[in-house]
Structure 1
């Protein structure tokens, strides 16, 4: 049995136990924790104390430890001073804990957590000795900047931190082949970089019971509504196909849909394309509601300009739904063109329309793609296989000399 400390900067760890999995990345962390714990390892999850969940509510199978970091949300942070101060508090809190209770391995799940964990391990190394550091980066700031021409949340600290982490981590975990390549270009050592995809829970994400064929076909897309998610392209393409509706999952909480500026933009866009009554925005929904929403689709469309892993694609495929996806990021790994879905160039609305029309109006094509969707996805991305790869990576890094000791000053 190994004592594993997992660190996240994206959510209060107590939310993993009470089911408040706001995003797919939270669900990925949840699975990454439960797999090793079920294999007999002692796992504790450290993350920022965001409040809103009591220790009693969070009591359960996952051992969690919220760390006071101040009022910093790394998804929205633009104040470099606030980010730096939050990192310092986070690192200090982790160091305090690890001095008295040494982990045998640390796995950080984003740049913020990785930076705090590396600093904490360095601070306590003289007392507890070197500890292997594994780092997963769900997205890369320099990729964001390359495509959008702007710095992402947490920059410029994030950009420098990601480069430093690629040098100091004992093992870097890419979520897809495309991200593996990006990490190597960023300077990651080839012999300390592996690819382990995100996992999907095949018991939760499963095909719904067969019902009567619908006259009106339902297109579904999952999007936080940022322009680079390609939502306008999905609206435009869907509204050109007769007898279709579009469900857009994500964005602000449902209560704020009426006042959100971006929602107003999308509704105006749909109106200009004469289809405002055919486009439905759900707002942000818990991950627990995703299986039913994806299962209600005739086809799921995910066409961001760029992405990390692209989790919505594997969740839709596990539900037995064909996926039309832009040929970027992890969607290149999960969507096999012509087998379980269709790959289209990013930012190409015309090709997207052709693909959508073909899948929706050709029942044989749709059925063929759907029949291959679930088996292939569970074989490659089911949690048992992903957990095996995760544990093998831990064994590999535990047997090697920690990189932190190599760069210690």
Structure 2
């Protein structure tokens, strides 16, 4: 592909390298990437964020009720609204989205771009190659719906997505960040990333000063332990299996509250209908709390964190719970097993297995000493491997290398 002629960017500095983040949603940037962007800014990068902008509030923003766009601009980052639709499938609309990115990259002339998630990786790589961006990073945070879903649409899309990833990501100017060893191996075997062009950085990092250990509330006959699942309400997060496990425990008389924290995501094909969640709430086996702010405070009220997902990159919800010294229960799948060490800081169960999940929940619900021991181990692991300063340092070092600077 021949690079398109670049148009000088307005206000571009000559001395500061420009880093452009391409993200599907502004709220996702705030929850998973804003700490990296701060570190890049402090290391001398000019930061631009290109994303779809909506009015969604940020759960843990410094100002309660603040929108993601407001928080991004408050950090001093320039925000470029995009029409990119992460669930769009209309070919004409998708071509228009790619054309919009080509114009953006030609205008901004970034030294480095980071494309976060699958569609930005594909479309951003096209734009980067057409406009001659010197280096671009594709962050694959778990292989997602197309690779883990069993529905017919995902089955049809899978070979085309694999081919597109090989074509677009395997390039001399491209680099790939993965969050767990399984994803790295899968991408290498598929020929999607060149040798030496793939880096494992375990997640986004967790703020250990916000998510701090605290004693869980006392339990008794009237106040049973609380297990929480914090995620978008998607089938492939294992929400259906958790509801089935909660029913099993209720039938057996095991005292345990199970709370689902999060909203449906209509843009995701695996989204659970709101009506289904409301029916589960009325049934009484689980509680659906919806989207909540202040997860650090919520985790103080919990005794167990659970995520029976089908596949993950490196789930932030488990890291935050571990940082609060809560024991973990998760599926034995890529991403989750990097955080949960079976028998040490939590329990691993087979994916899509409600009976095994119910057994694990019952074990921790009835053993407060084991919960305390595993919670302490969970906090230790976060401090040693997943604390935010460790992760941001690795990320910024990669940025500097790709932008032609010597890492500090």
- The two structures have a TM-score, normalised by structure 1, of 0.79
The residue number in structure 2 matching 1:87 is: 98
Query: Cα distance, 1:381 vs. partner?
Result: 0.9
| 8 A contact 1:8–1:110 mirrored in 2 | no
Structure 1 residues 65 and 158: alpha-carbon distance in aligned structure 2, compared to 1, 3 A threshold: farther
Deviation, 1:278, is 4.6
Q: Tell me how far 1:279 sits from its aligned partner.
A: 1.9
Q: Structure 1 stretches of 5 or more lacking a match?
A: 13-20, 254-259, 401-409
Structure 1 partner of 2:63: none
SS across alignment from 1:333: coil
Matched with 2:313 is 308
Contact 1:140 / 1:162 at 8 angstroms: preserved in 2?
no
Alpha-carbon shift at residue 247 of structure 1 (Å) = 0.7
Q: Name the Cα RMSD after superposition.
A: 3.1
- For residues 103-126 of structure 1, the C-alpha deviation after alignment (integer angstroms, 9 at most, x for no partner) is 33222222333344433333443x
Distance in 2 between the 1:105 and 1:345 partners?
A: 40
Choose from 27, 31, 52 the match for 2:31: 27
Once residues 7 and 161 of structure 1 are traced to their aligned partners in structure 2, the CA distance between those partners, rounded to angstroms, is: 21
From 201, 205, 209, give the equivalent of 2:207: 201
Higher helix share: 1
6, 23, 37: which one aligns with 1:9: 23
Report the equivalent of 1:322: 327
Q: Structure 1 residues 194-203 or 204-213, which shifts more?
A: 204-213
Number of corresponding residues: 366
Distance in 1, Cα, partners of 2:347 & 2:216: 23
Spell out, residue by residue over 1:302-340, the C-alpha distance to the aligned partner (whole angstroms, 9 max, x if none): 001222322211111111111100011211111111111
Q: Counterparts of 1:153 and 1:9 in 2: how far apart (Å)? A: 25
d(CA) in 2 for partners of 1:154, 1:389: 36
Deviation at 1:2, TM superposition (A): 5.2
| Structure 2 residue 273 is matched with structure 1 residue 262 | yes
CA deviations 1:222-270 (Å, max 9, x no partner) are 24332222212212323433221111011239xxxxxx97243345467
Matches within 5 A, 1:243-262: 243-252=255-264, 262=273
The answer to whether the Cα contact below 8 Å between 2:211 and 2:323 also exists between their aligned partners in 1 is: yes
1:166 matched to 2:169? The reply is yes
Partner of 2:329: helix, strand, or coil? strand
What is the CA distance between 1:140 and its match in structure 2?
Answer: 2.9
Q: CA offsets per residue over residues 192-225 of structure 1, 9 Å max, x none?
A: 1110011111122223465434531111112433
Q: Provide the C-alpha distance between the structure 2 equivalents of 1:184 and 1:311, rounded to a whole number of angstroms.
A: 25
Preserved contact between residue 226 and residue 257 of structure 2 (Cα < 8 Å): yes
Q: Secondary structure, in 3 states, of the residue corresponding to 1:332?
A: coil
Q: Distance in 2 between matches of 1:228 and 1:51?
A: 26
Paired with 1:37 and 1:57, the residues of 2 have a C-alpha distance of 15
Matches within 5 A, 1:51-66: 59-66=73-80
